[in-house]
């Protein structure tokens, strides 16, 4: 591992500090590209206007007409947290804006696969729906949209994934990544796209006079004053938007950070759906002190677990209900499923690591890309395991499981995770062009993608992916690099500054503060058999540290990368260093790999 420090533009840091930003935050923000204080304004007025997202105007007209004509709407969701929150936002928002008949359908990961398929279109039609609305999927569902149209359904696709060579022939497409869209936030999550559609719909309804004063039905002329129809508020949907945005690990550009900040603000004030409150309780987290970490590592995994091992209907119902008792019951169920998921993941991870290590001889570097398959793997957990292997070897990684869908025994379903410098979806596209027929289906993003491979051609896929990786990656990109914010001044090692840092919005593309410097290691011991508890000296001051998932001993002085956290013991809160990485001598590093 190579630990490096980010460049901090001095003029930007100085300008932010002069504008009243805390000196430490000024330095951190400047290193992440923030040049002026107004860029940190997270007010709703600073959100990108809905009319700049191509298709929202047409979507608003389509939906307003459907509401006016009392059409039946059915949302087709995805089975991850982004899809679940997008569905819940759609259900809540459309009903609030006047839709009386709104239902949803979520595909089964095993039986249906990903996206809108012809079979799902038929199931939507069978419900009696007039309009099909996709959330967090659909941009690659050419056949599914065609089937829905043939069944007489109107189709609105809302998605954020990268499109394929052919766009589906939906009535309206809303996706910032379609070729004609100039929306500045290309990384907005699926739940964010749905939120923008609802804002556009409210605007369209306002233009149609839906919220103007008018007489009540049957009210005679000259009677009481007309009833004023209150314009529905949508900002209380922002906690769900924030959760889905962080959980989907999209880049937190300025617009996404504003969406997340607004959601966090409401959650901390106690203004959130019953399901979110119940999930905080089930996860043992405090909503009043909510952080993006809670979204990514506590709430998000509990929602995702339903789609991985059970039925995402549980997650959507939890996020949609206003019944606190029902929400708590569903949150407990999701927590239990997540515990089961962790058990399955742990077993699979150990198996997958053994398979991955068998791909190269001891002492040799890992291949440029890693592909792992085991007939006993659970397809709902392959993505998590791929992420763990990618972190271990710092290589683009795909993990495959046998398809559990009926009649699909000849197929393997895989999930991949990548490293900086290797666009995973583009790599799959090149594999498909070079080896026709190997990939039956694929899609995704730069850092995460999924695909289905013919079972008898897995070895061909493995070789093809490794070939592309060898062409695109060099020694520099194959070396794990940890970007940090450099040394931490001793005066900032304070518990109040830990709280200050945690209140900010951090995540993908706007990395949480990580510092690095050479520290003295006073003592070290194993806890829980797989974590290293440390006593360190930082500028003459002793401080506790913890390195989760590592057992290799550190030398007396070591270059460490660390985050700050608050550790509470017997009612006293202290600063603790969360070790993120270490530059170790070669012999120590090898010993750690063996352990």
* pLDDT tens readout for residues 61-86: 999 999 999 999 999 999 999 999 99
Q: Dig out the tokens for 471 from the structure.
A: 């062409």
Task: Find the range with the poorest average confidence among 408-412, 480-484, 538-542.
Answer: 408-412
12 to 4, 16, 500: CA distances (angstroms): 20, 6, 20
Q: Span 26-51, mean pLDDT? A: 97
Q: Are residues 407 and 488 in the same domain?
A: no
User: Does any domain span residue 39?
Assistant: no
Q: Are residues 118 and 144 in the same domain?
A: yes
- Rounded CA Rg of the chain: 25
116 to 107, 198, 443: CA distances (angstroms): 8, 21, 13
User: Does any domain span residue 120?
Assistant: yes
| Residue-level pLDDT at 212 | 79
Q: Are residues 313 and 364 in the same domain?
A: no
User: Does any domain span residue 520?
Assistant: yes
Q: Are residues 312 and 392 in the same domain?
A: no
Average pLDDT of the chain to the nearest whole number: 93
Q: Are residues 535 and 441 in the same domain?
A: no
CATH number of the structural domain spanning residue 265: 3.90.1640.30
Distance CA 538, CA 308 (A): 43
Helix intervals (H) in 8-71: 10-18, 23-31, 56-68
Boundary residue ending a domain (472, 498, 528): 472
Which of 76, 132, 79 shows the shortest CA–CA distance to 108? 79
| Residue-level pLDDT at 108 | 83
| Residue-level pLDDT at 587 | 47
Q: Are residues 389 and 501 in the same domain?
A: no
Q: Are residues 515 and 553 in the same domain?
A: yes
Structural domain count, the chain = 3
| Residue-level pLDDT at 529 | 80
Q: Are residues 110 and 132 in the same domain?
A: yes
Reading phi first (left if > 0) and then psi (alpha if -120 to 50, else beta), residue 371 is in: beta
Q: Are residues 199 and 64 in the same domain?
A: yes
Which of 146, 151, 182 shows the shortest CA–CA distance to 167? 146
| Residue-level pLDDT at 92 | 98
User: Does any domain span residue 563?
Assistant: yes
Under DSSP, the state recorded for 479 is: S
| Residue-level pLDDT at 189 | 97
Q: How many other C-beta atoms lie within 10 A of the C-beta of residue 490?
A: 11
| Residue-level pLDDT at 86 | 98
User: Does any domain span residue 225?
Assistant: no
Which of 252, 253, 272, 275 shows the shortest CA–CA distance to 264? 272
Distance CA 451, CA 448 (A): 11
Stated as kind and residue range, the H or E segment containing 355 is helix 324-357
CATH number of the structural domain spanning residue 424: 3.10.310.30
Judged by DSSP in three states, 400 sits in: strand
CATH number of the structural domain spanning residue 515: 2.40.50.460
Q: How many other C-beta atoms lie within 10 A of the C-beta of residue 127?
A: 12
Is the pLDDT at 594 greater than 50, yes or no?
Answer: no
Give exposure, 547-586, as e/b (b: 16+ Cβ within 10 Å): beebebebeeebebbbbbbebeeeeeeebbbbbbbbbbee
User: Does any domain span residue 532?
Assistant: yes
| Residue-level pLDDT at 404 | 76
Distance CA 39, CA 33 (A): 10
Q: Are residues 117 and 255 in the same domain?
A: yes
Which of 497, 495, 505, 517 shows the shortest CA–CA distance to 562? 517
User: Does any domain span residue 10?
Assistant: no
Distance CA 267, CA 241 (A): 12
Distance CA 559, CA 3 (A): 8
| Residue-level pLDDT at 4 | 94
The angle subtended at Cα 337 by Cα 333 and Cα 338, nearest 5°, is 115
Asked if 592 and 551 touch (Cβ cutoff 8 Å), the reply is yes
What lies within 8 Å, CB to CB, of 525 at 6+ separation is 532, 533
Is the pLDDT at 220 greater than 90, yes or no?
Answer: no
The pTM is what?
0.90
User: Does any domain span residue 444?
Assistant: yes
Distance CA 254, CA 102 (A): 32
Boundary residue ending a domain (451, 472, 493): 472
Distance CA 7, CA 34 (A): 12
Give the domain range for residue 489: 482-594
Half-sphere exposure of 561 toward its Cβ, with a 13 Å CA cutoff?
20
Give exposure, 433-445, as e/b (b: 16+ Cβ within 10 Å): eebeebbbbbbbb
Boundary residue ending a domain (472, 504, 533): 472
């Amino acid at each position: 591992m190579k630990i490096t420090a980010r460049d901090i533009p001095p003029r930007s840091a100085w300008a932010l500090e002069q504008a009243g930003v805390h000196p430490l935050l000024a330095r951190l923000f400047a290193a992440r590209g923030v040049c002026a204080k107004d860029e940190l304004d997270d007010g709703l007025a600073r959100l990108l206007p809905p009319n700049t997202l191509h298709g929202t105007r047409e979507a608003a007209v389509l939906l307003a007409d459907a509401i006016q004509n009392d059409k039946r709407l059915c949302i087709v969701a995805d089975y991850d947290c982004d899809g679940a929150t997008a569905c819940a936002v759609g259900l809540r928002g459309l009903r609030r804006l006047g839709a009386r008949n709104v239902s949803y359908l979520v595909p089964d990961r095993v039986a249906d696969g990903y996206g809108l398929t012809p079979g799902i279109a038929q199931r939507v039609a069978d419900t009696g729906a007039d309009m099909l609305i996709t959330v967090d999927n659909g941009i690659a569902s050419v056949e599914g949209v065609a089937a829905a149209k043939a069944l007489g359904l109107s189709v609105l696709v809302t998605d954020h994934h990268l499109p394929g060579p052919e766009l589906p022939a939906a009535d309206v497409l809303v996706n910032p990544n379609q070729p004609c869209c100039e929306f500045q936030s290309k990384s907005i999550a699926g739940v964010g796209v749905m939120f923008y559609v609802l804002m556009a719909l409210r605007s369209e309804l306002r233009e149609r006079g839906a919220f103007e004063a008018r007489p009540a039905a049957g009210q005679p002329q000259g009677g009481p004053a007309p009833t004023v129809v209150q314009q529905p508020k949508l900002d209380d949907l922002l906690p769900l938007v924030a959760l889905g945005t962080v959980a989907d690990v999209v880049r937190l550009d300025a617009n996404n950070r504003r969406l997340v900040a607004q959601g966090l603000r409401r959650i901390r004030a106690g203004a959130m759906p019953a399901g979110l409150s119940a999930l905080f309780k089930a996860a043992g987290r405090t909503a009043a002190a909510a952080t993006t970490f809670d979204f990514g590592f506590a709430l998000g995994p509990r929602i995702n677990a339903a789609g991985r091992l059970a039925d995402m209907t549980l997650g959507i119902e939890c996020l949609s209900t206003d019944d606190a008792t029902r929400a708590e019951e569903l949150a407990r169920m999701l927590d239990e499923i997540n515990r089961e998921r962790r058990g399955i993941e742990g077993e699979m991870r150990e198996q997958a690591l053994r398979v991955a290590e068998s791909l190269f001889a001891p002492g040799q570097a890992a291949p440029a890309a890693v592909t792992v398959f085991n007939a006993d793997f659970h397809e709902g957990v392959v993505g998590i395991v791929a992420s763990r292997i990618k972190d271990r070897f710092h290589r683009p990684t795909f993990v495959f499981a046998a398809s559990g869908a009926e009649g699909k025994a000849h197929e393997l379903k895989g999930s991949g995770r990548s490293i900086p410098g290797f666009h995973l979806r583009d790599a799959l596209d090149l594999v498909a062009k070079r080896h026709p027929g190997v990939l039956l289906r694929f899609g995704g993003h730069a850092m995460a993608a999924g695909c289905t491979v013919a079972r008898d051609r897995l070895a061909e896929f493995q070789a093809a992916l490794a070939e592309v990786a060898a062409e695109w990656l060099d020694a520099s990109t194959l070396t794990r690099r940890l970007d940090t914010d450099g040394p931490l001044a001793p005066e900032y090692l304070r518990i109040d500054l830990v709280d200050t840092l945690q209140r900010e919005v951090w995540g993908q593309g706007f990395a949480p503060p990580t510092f690095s410097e050479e520290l003295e290691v006073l003592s070290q011991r194993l806890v829980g058999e797989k974590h290293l508890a440390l006593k360190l000296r930082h500028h003459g001051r002793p401080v506790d540290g913890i390195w989760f998932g590592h057992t290799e001993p550190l030398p007396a002085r070591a270059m460490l990368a660390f985050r700050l956290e608050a550790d509470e013991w017997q009612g006293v809160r202290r600063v603790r260093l969360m070790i993120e990485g270490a530059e170790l001598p070669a012999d120590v590093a090898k010993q750690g790999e063996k352990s």
